[in-house]
Amino acid sequence: MKKHHLRETMIRIKMKEIAEGISLVEEHLPQTAEEFKRLGLVRDGIYKRMEFAIENVFDICAVINADLALGIPGHDDDILENLVTNRVISEDLRRKIMGMRGFRNIVVHRYGTIDDAPRIPAADRKYRGLYRIQRCG
């Protein structure tokens, strides 16, 4: 059986970027949705940092899938399926990552008009999830 080598440096760089994004969001995320609505460009920056951090989580998953030769994915769901099937991540972690992706899609594609009020607690939960993922490394 062929031994596979993970690109640990790349993964660590992405984890560092996630941690930096979390720190910036935590620093600027207000307590209320009303305050958040008034942030203007800072609000947009918070959304962009969240998007970038979530994309880094998927990038890390893709790197692990490729480096361990777990299968050729047709889409992101296949990457996560390969990681679960090969016991790299748990089913619970997969659900959390999929939830983050759903949140990212709302932010990126701005389905309709984003109502920031429910996004504040959602952002906080997603970032806590990102922080837990980042600490695993």
The CATH number of whichever domain residue 28 belongs to comes to 1.20.120
CA angle 54, 28, 49 (to 5 degrees): 20
* pLDDT score for 122: 54
Asked if residue 87 is part of any domain, the answer here is yes
* pLDDT score for 123: 55
Q: How many domains does the chain have?
A: 1
* pLDDT score for 131: 47
Could you tell me the residue range of the domain that residue 61 belongs to? 8-135
Asked if residue 23 is part of any domain, the answer here is yes
- In a 3-state reduction of DSSP, which class is residue 112? coil
Asked if residue 2 is part of any domain, the answer here is no
* pLDDT score for 137: 41
Distance CA 28, CA 30 (A): 6
Chain-centre distance for alpha carbon 20: 13
Tokens matching residue 86: 């090969």
Distance CA 39, CA 43 (A): 5
* pLDDT score for 114: 55
In the chain, which stretches have pLDDT less than 70? 1-3, 110-137
Kindly report the pTM of this predicted structure. Answer: 0.77
